[in-house]
Structure formats: C-alpha cells, structure tokens
Structure 1
Amino acid sequence: MPHPFPGITLTDASYSVAGKTILPGLTLSLTEPRIGIVGRNGSGKTTLLRLLAGLVAPTSGTVRLGGFDPAKDRKAALAALGILFQNPDHQIIFPTVEEELAFGLRQQGRSDAEARAMARETLTQHGRLHWAPASVATLSQGQRHYLCLMAVLAMQPATILLDEPFAGLDLPTQTRLIRALQGLPQRLITISHDPALLQGYDRVIWLEDGHVRQDGPAAAVLPEFHAEMARLGGLDADADLTG
C-alpha cells in the first residue's frame, strides 16, 4: 500500500441534478488516514462520496485523486478506491461468494484463474474459505456486508469509502465489522449518522445543505454536531403539517 495516501482534492466542485444543486462548489483537500462525514439526511453526504469515488462527475469544478479524475479514469479509480455501500444488495451482482469476490479483480485486469485464486486467498485470510461455493442468497445481512468488505479488500485500494456501513446491522455484527475496519492500513472515509463511530478520527466534515458547516478533528466537531442534532430533535419541527 503506498504511503502517504494519495490526496483527494475537490476544487470548486459542484453537483446538480434535474436543475437542483446538491453540492454548491466544495473545495476540500483530503489527506488524513481517517475522515468522517456527518450531516442530516439530504445534506449531500452520499453525493460527496459518489463524487470522490468517480461514480458521478461534478457538474462544474474538479475532483482529483493523486492527479487523475476518478470519473474519467475508471481503471485507475478501481485500483485506488473501494466503496462499501449502505445496502450490500446494491453492490452484490453474482450468485456465489467466490464469483462475487473474483469480479472486481477481473475488472482490474486479472485473468479468471488468477482472480479466483486471489478470491480464495482473501477468504482464507478472513477464516471464511468455506464460503467460496455458497450462494449469496443464503448469507445473512451481516454476512453480505462482510462479503462486500472482503471484495473491496481483495482489490487492495489505498482508500475505502464507507456509506453508513453499519446501518441495519445488529450489535454483534456491527462490533465484528468495526473491529475489522479499525485494523485496516487503508485510509477510511466514512459517512455515519452515529458520532460514536467516528470518535478518534483525524478529521470530521459536517455538511449542511451541501455546504461545509464545520471541518476539523473529531474531538472538536462531533460534540457540536451532536448538540445541534439534539436541539433540532427537541423542536418537533415536523409536527406542523402546513410547513
């Protein structure tokens, strides 16, 4: 894994869809090993993550990862970035575990035989070689999340993007995934509604209506974010049906 991590730079990057601006001209330089992104629903968090991953291109401005545009150079993006979505069923496309793990490796240019060997090696490293022939449909929600994580790790990216990776999981499964993620050498950029999951992060970016409301160490940003969410929760603002 190359160190330091390749920087991700957004320069006046905006994103609009159907005439609605979701992100209005963000300028950020992302270099830290652990970065969290917080904000209310609709604040632009997932759109920002999709821009970073190159899954969408900015409407204006630029996104650069180590000098290349991840939306235009997909091969380079696949080598440098992995993404773990909130819902594993939006990510999994093959019927068996081994096929799912091998797919991304083939996308990186490996032969089918090499990809399958690497898939089995990844399963062995995680103590799950017996999963190789299993139908994905037989896996629990937590197991499918873990499969997606293994698929990302098999591709050996320098940066992993996580979009609410623990949503919908029971506490034991959350604990296993958190433990797996904490020990990774990769840079993690994590969206989460739960400030507790981002404690100790090098940096937290608080988005509000597509703008950066606060940006700094977790210890400085998270208490203010938590306090503001608690304040908003006490307003009963959704009780007014005419609003």
Structure 2
Amino acid sequence: MPDPLPVATADPACNSVHLRGAGFAIAGRPILSGLNLHLTERRIGLIGRNGSGKSTFLRLVAGLIVPTSGTVRVADLDPAKDRKAMLSRIGILFQNPDHQIIFPTVGEELAFGLRQQGLDKAAATLTARSLLARHGRSHWETQAVTALSQGQRHFLCLLSVLAMQPHTILLDEPFAGLDLPTQTRLDRELASLSQRLILITHDPKALAGYDRVIWLEGGRVQADGAAGPVVAAFTAEMGRLGEVDADTDLTV
C-alpha cells in the first residue's frame, strides 16, 4: 500500500469544524435545526434514518450550501465564503461518482482541483501523474472516465480529493453500490489516511474503531458521543421501529 499523502497541518484543534446553532431550511421547512457541535476527533461517524439530514449536514460543513440559521466554521473560516481556502481543508466524496466527475479523462479530472489551488498546468499534471503512479494506476492517466467501472470512478473521486491534501474528508455512503472486493480496497485506503474522516453510513460495523458518532433524527442531534454506546442505542431503536412498521406514516 502506498504511503499516505502528507497533510500540511494535522493539529485537530487548528482544523476543527464548529457549528453554532446551525440550521438549514428550504421554503421554511427545516432540514437541520439547532446544531451545536465542535468536531475535532480523527474518526467521526454520522448515522440516522433516511431523510434525517445527514447528506445536508455534509454539504453544510463543506460550504456547498449556506446555513439559514446559525454559523458553520472550519478552522475559523466560513466554508461557504472562503471556497479557495476550503480546498486544502475540506474534501467531500459523494455517494455517486457521476455527481462529482466533470472532466472527460482521468488526468484532467485529477489536475482540476490542483489548478484551483494555484498550480500551473505543468505542475498539476506532474502531481496527478505522480499520484496515479503511487497507486499503481499510471495507465489510467489518458483513459476516458467512461472507460472506468463504477468502483474505479469512485476511487478516482477519492484520488481527486487526496490530491488536494485536505485536513478533513467528508464521506457520504462511500461503499454504496460497490461490490465486496471494491469495498474492501476502498475501506483499506480510507483506514490508512491521516486525515479526519466524517463518514455517513447505514452500516454500524463500518464505525468500529471510530472515536465519535453523531445520531441525527429529524434534523437534530439525537445522540452524540463514544461510538459504542451511540451505535448500540441507534441499532436498538431501529430494531424497535422495524418491529412496529414505523414507515407506514406519510410525511406531510
């Protein structure tokens, strides 16, 4: 396995994520409400039922959407306003790689973020080429993205994030839709990273060894703490809801 890329500053306090009364609403309908969280741990899990606001939470932290109440700060910066500064602080891996890839070839896709960070074309190309070589994928450079499998495109998105060396990586169900060998390879790669990971998952087993887990329910924090107790409480509640057919009610 290649050595992990260096990260400029690994101090969690310097690169913490702080939400103060943060919320997000669409047309007056709250998706997230009253979030007061200070995230410094190296491995953080995010769990909750579908529609609980998990993906919106990641987009809020990444600065892809602006809070409609409260504030979000990453290393004391506003992620929605300081987009260039966020490139070296926050990376996000979406569930569907086709929602993330924008260039026709692998080399161009990898170089894009590096150009955004200020590297010239030659330096960005060289860095992308070196990254592919470290992962045994030099032959990918000139390949059309459409020639890659789903799992390979997912890995390309991860490489694109890693190329920019962010301090925190946000992961929205990264294993969804992948076959078991691809899941294993991706899990091995993620486990080797020195960056902070904030992972959305429906699989409690994926949170083994995590420092902290946040359970969102209806856009609010239902529980927050050590992984073991929070995951156990969540699993028990999901089992209870399954027994009483809790999905029969319509959402107004």
Report the CA distance shift for 1:198/1:117 in structure 2 as closer, same or farther (over 3 A). same
Query: Do residues 162 (structure 1) and 155 (structure 2) align?
Result: no
Q: Which residue of 2 aligns with 1:60?
A: 69
* Equivalences, count: 243
Residue 106, structure 1, aligned to residue 115, structure 2: yes
- CA–CA separation in structure 2 for the residues paired with 1:240 and 1:108: 48
Find the aligned partners of 1:236 and 1:212 in 2 and give their Cα distance. 23
Structure 1 residue runs of 5 or longer lacking an equivalent are: none
**What SS is found at the alignment partner of 1:89?**
helix
Match of 1:148 in 2: 157
Deviation string, structure 1 residues 28-56 (Cα, Å, up to 9, x no partner): 00000000000000101111111110101
| CA distance in 1 between partners of 2:231 and 2:178 (Å) | 23
Matched residue, 2:50: 41
Aligned position for 2:36: 27
Q: CA deviation at 1:239?
A: 5.0
Residue matched to 1:9: 18
**Is the aligned partner of 1:83 residue 2:92?**
yes
Letter in 2 for 1:95: P
Say if 2:164 is the partner of 1:174.
Answer: no
Shift of the alpha carbon at 1:241? 8.0
Distance in 1 (CA, whole Å) between partners of 2:249 and 2:34 is 33
Where does 1:207-222 land on structure 2 (aligned, <5 Å)?
Answer: 207-222=216-231
1:59-78, Cα deviation, whole Å (9 max, x unpaired): 01111111110000000111
1:95 maps to 104
SS at match of 1:220: helix
Aligned partner of residue 67 in structure 1, secondary structure:
coil
Change (3 A) 1:14 1:142: same
SS at match of 2:33: strand
Letter of the structure 2 residue corresponding to residue 145 of structure 1: H
Q: Distance in 2 between matches of 1:217 and 1:242?
A: 31
What secondary structure does 2:189 align onto? helix
Residue identity over aligned pairs, in percent, reads 65
> Does the residue aligned with 1:79 lie in a helix, a strand or coil?
coil
Question: Does the aligned pair in 1 maintain the 2:16–2:74 contact within 8 Å?
Answer: yes
Residues of 2 paired with 1:174 and 1:126: CA distance?
Answer: 16
Superposition TM-score, scaled by structure 1 size: 0.97
Amino acid corresponding to residue 132 of structure 2 in structure 1? L
**1:236 Cα deviation after fit:** 2.2
Once the two structures are superposed, residues 83-142 of structure 1 have per-residue CA deviations (whole angstroms, 9 ceiling, x without a partner) of 000000000011110000001111111111111111101101111111101110010000
Shift of 1:3: 2.3
The SS at the match of 1:152 is: helix
Matches of 1:232 and 1:11, distance apart in 2: 31
Partner of 1:118: 127
Calculate the TM-score normalised by the size of structure 2.
Answer: 0.94
SS at match of 2:143: coil
* Alpha-carbon distance in structure 1 between the residues aligned to 2:250 and 2:123: 59
After the TM superposition, which parts of structure 1 deviate over 4 Å for at least 4 consecutive aligned residues? 239-243
Taking the aligned partners of 1:130 and 1:241, their CA distance within structure 2 comes to: 51
SS in 2 for 1:175: helix
Question: Distance in 2 between the 1:89 and 1:145 partners?
Answer: 9
Pick the aligned partner of 1:136 from 124, 145, 165. 145
